[in-house]
Amino acid sequence: MSTREIEQIKKYVRAANYLSAIQIYLQDNFLLQRKLNSDDIKPRLLGHWGTCPGINFTYANLNNLIKKKKCEILFVLGTGHGFPALQANLFLEGTLGEFYSEAKANEKGIKYIAKNFSWPYGFPSHTNPGTPGAILEGGELGYALSTAYGAALDNKELIVACMIGDGEAETGPTAAAWHLNKFLNPKTDGTVLPILHLNGYKISGPTIFGKMGNHELVNLFEGYGYEPMIVEGNDDKIYNDMHLVLEKAYEKIIHIKSDSHTHREEKNRTTHTHREKENQKFPMIILKTKKGWTGIKELNGEKIEGNYLSHQVVAKDAKTNPEELKELERWMKSYKFSELFHSEKGFAREVLDLIPHKDFRMGKSRHAYGWKIYKQLHLPNPEKFAEKISTHEKSSSMKKIGEYLNEVFAMNQKNKNFRLMSPDETYSNKLDSVFKTTKREFNRPTEKWEKDIGKDGRVIEILSEHTLQGLAQGYILTGRHSIFASYEAFIEIVSSMVDQYAKFLKVSKETKWRKDVASMNFILTSSGWRQEHNGFSHQNPSFISGMLEKNNCDARIYFPPDANSSLAVLKKCLESKGRINVLVAGKTLEPKWISVKQAEQELKEGLAIWDFASDKNPDIVFTGIGDYMTKETLAAVDYLKKNTKAKVRFVNVMELTPFGFGNETCKNQVNFEKYFTRDKPVIFNYHGYPTDIYSFLFDQENHKRFSVHGYIENGSTTTPFDMHVRNKTSRYHLAIEALEILARKRIVNEKTAKELIKDCERKLREHRDYIIKNGKDPEEIENWHWKEVF
């Protein structure tokens, strides 16, 4: 690179570094037109300086590559608290000013971004939905790389430059995400260019990667399947090397992708040469710069640049300490910003010339604005897969969902905008019908005995829930559709990650220029109620509780009671936009209670009275929430109907939201009295923790009339019915409670009630003895079915 080109990039970086620094410190005197004084310093100094110079250096060099190659690059920033740098670059390239009218690249704009950074009702301290071009909530580390790979799926011309801090690289989510290079097909997917920024320190100490030598780093990332390229040095050398490495990386990417088109895969080729060709390594960059590069070198006898002390705010007492104020001013003046910006003429030509054409600016990548690319999925009619109502002939909800998803894949093959993510559980969760149309994607050689796996699949399996969640987020936020299917107990692994995504959605809805994209859809199966064979560790409905704690309508939890209703719910989820949908359904063979049309009708309000199991003017109301809970509750209703003259109503709840028993409008709750009467006792049998439901009932009049059964953290390796016994959700526990209530109300004769209660208690004792002896539930439990005519 010529000296002139190096100087041009240096000037751009100086401008970006200055703009980054003043965002952290200044509330006035933004151009240093007079001596800096304490009144110019913000009352609260917030933000992170240490990573900003490396971000600015990288952004400038990526701009240079874009201008030369006219390539499309989406920038994903993992070091979320490096936001002052990202905002400085968005400001310089003009993108920020397109979304915030006061952020034009002039003196007023400089004042606007500096004054409002980390200021109440201004810009947050990290990347957020208000950031143009952002597809990642920057508040929690570890998710950038998987999100970047999600964005690259099915975007074959796109390069996603993902900048990862060396602190972030220590996280488990990032560690697993390095393997995603094995899931991208060079012919059909885009490319991720990871840029690992090694500045050596975290908040208060060194990073692991910062203490590794170059040989060790190269070996590590070669083992991951990359071609690592190290950029380091001072002054002109690091600028020249970054230019050369980016050019080399770009040419390598183009070569691999071109090679993938010209060399078609031959079946069953297993030669060493072929395997090496198939395993061509995509590049990644290891950028080594000093933490706080170009900032204050020393302060108060402490090393700052190149040390952890530059991580956040340097000279944090500048407002009250004259010596620190003097050092801060000396630092800011070192950028000679007056050479780069004139209050009337604006930025110097050398700075502006590095900015790509407006169609190629990284902040305006069309892929970051997924709602502009979004296409509705073609969805089949659930009736096509429906089965006749029957409690004798049973069906698996997950098998039906698998059949439906297979048709979704078939109907959307041309658009290539739908993916299924699963942590090695597609078969286990009975979703394998999808393999009639697609495969599990894996960009590595396969053996002839390995089935349903190849380079052109649309199912991704990796035993890292974090990685799959990141893939789904990146895929959805760039305008496509996804389903994430998991064992119920282990989806909790990504609860914090989903919480970050929920925050991203919430703020997106408050950001007027952002529009809705497809919903994040989860399928939770292999639930705790049928994880009796795997034991206590596999029994955990906490994820549901976490979603119900949100104070908005973005989260919807669905509990379809059978296979037909699962189909109706799935279609509704795939049609929706801007939500987090959680579909909770079992995979075992269970009764078919209602038709698809009945399910669709019930979904309008989220719950329904099931007439076939209900009497008019009931004495007591039973409510089932969840497929296994519904069956046990109806078995209890059946027991009472056979043995008493009590009038019973059965209500099925299919949808919950954070505001209660769900309906289309979420906050406008259903007519509670219509379903649960004004004053009759109500017994709920709920899939998750009872406290979820009690929180909805607290404001109801006479709330003591409600009783909630659910998972109470009892379990083991046992039988399916014993899981209900241990958690007091069995038909016998429900019947006992109902009989006690009805006896107190003198609806059932006290003597009769006591005899029936003894009968239930006897059945529970006999059940325990039976399973200890035989290892399975008795026939009367396994083969129970509703005998009434529907």
d(CA 481, CA 503): 19
Which residues make up the CATH 3.40.50.970 domain(s) of the chain? 3-263+271-362, 382-591
Label each residue of 38-59 as H, E or C: HHHECCCCCCCCCCHHHHHHHH
Contact 652, 632 (CB under 8 A): no
* Phi/psi at 398 (5° precision): -70, -35
DSSP 555: E
d(CA 630, CA 623): 8
Query: Which neighbouring-strand residues pair with 555?
Result: 580
**pLDDT tens per residue across span 652-694:** 999 999 999 877 677 667 889 999 999 999 999 999 999 999 9
Contact 658, 552 (CB under 8 A): yes
d(CA 558, CA 626): 8
Q: Where are the alpha helices (DSSP H) in 192-297?
A: 214-223, 235-262, 272-278
Taking the model in full, what pTM does it have?
Answer: 0.95
Instruction: Look at the block and give the residue holding tokens 């090496």.
Output: 276
For the chain, give the number of residues.
Answer: 790
Task: Determine the distance from the C-alpha atom of residue 288 to the mean position of all C-alpha atoms in its chain, rounded to a whole number.
Answer: 30
**Neighbour tally for 570: CB within 10 Å:** 27
Q: Is 3.40.50.920 the CATH number for 609-782? A: yes
End-to-end CA distance of the chain: 80
Which residues make up the CATH 3.40.50.920 domain(s) of the chain? 609-782
Contact 68, 55 (CB under 8 A): no
Percent of the chain that is helix, strand, coil (3-state, to 5):
45, 15, 40
Q: What is residue 261's predicted lDDT score, i.e. its pLDDT?
A: 58
Query: Which neighbouring-strand residues pair with 623?
Result: 651, 684
**pLDDT tens per residue across span 187-218:** 999 999 999 999 999 999 999 999 999 999 99
> Which residue stretches of the chain have pLDDT < 50?
264-276, 789-790
Query: Which neighbouring-strand residues pair with 299?
Result: 302
**pLDDT tens per residue across span 598-610:** 999 999 999 999 9
Query: Which neighbouring-strand residues pair with 621?
Result: 649, 682
Q: What is residue 266's predicted lDDT score, i.e. its pLDDT?
A: 45
Query: What does CATH list as the number for 382-591?
Result: 3.40.50.970
Q: Where are the alpha helices (DSSP H) in 391-478?
A: 397-411, 465-477
Pairing relationship of beta strands 346-347 and 341-342 according to DSSP bridges: antiparallel
Among 103, 231, 129, 37, which residue's Cα sits nearest to residue 503?
Answer: 129
Q: 636-643 long-range contacts, Cβ below 8 Å, gap at least 24?
A: 636/685, 636/731, 636/732, 636/734, 636/735, 636/738, 637/613, 638/731, 638/784, 638/786, 638/787, 639/731, 639/732, 639/735, 639/760, 640/735, 640/738, 640/739, 643/752, 643/756
Q: What is residue 274's predicted lDDT score, i.e. its pLDDT?
A: 47
Query: Which neighbouring-strand residues pair with 656?
Result: 557, 661
% pLDDT > 70, the chain = 97
Q: What angle (nearest 5°) sits at the alpha carbon of residue 363, between those of residues 358 and 364?
A: 50
d(CA 595, CA 13): 64
The first and second tokens of residue 173, run together, are 């989510």
Q: Which amino acid is at 107?
A: E
Instruction: Look at the block and give the residue holding tokens 């944090």.
Output: 316
Instruction: Look at the block and give the residue holding tokens 């209890």.
Output: 636
Query: What does CATH list as the number for 3-263+271-362?
Result: 3.40.50.970
Q: What is residue 80's predicted lDDT score, i.e. its pLDDT?
A: 73
d(CA 779, CA 180): 48
d(CA 53, CA 82): 9
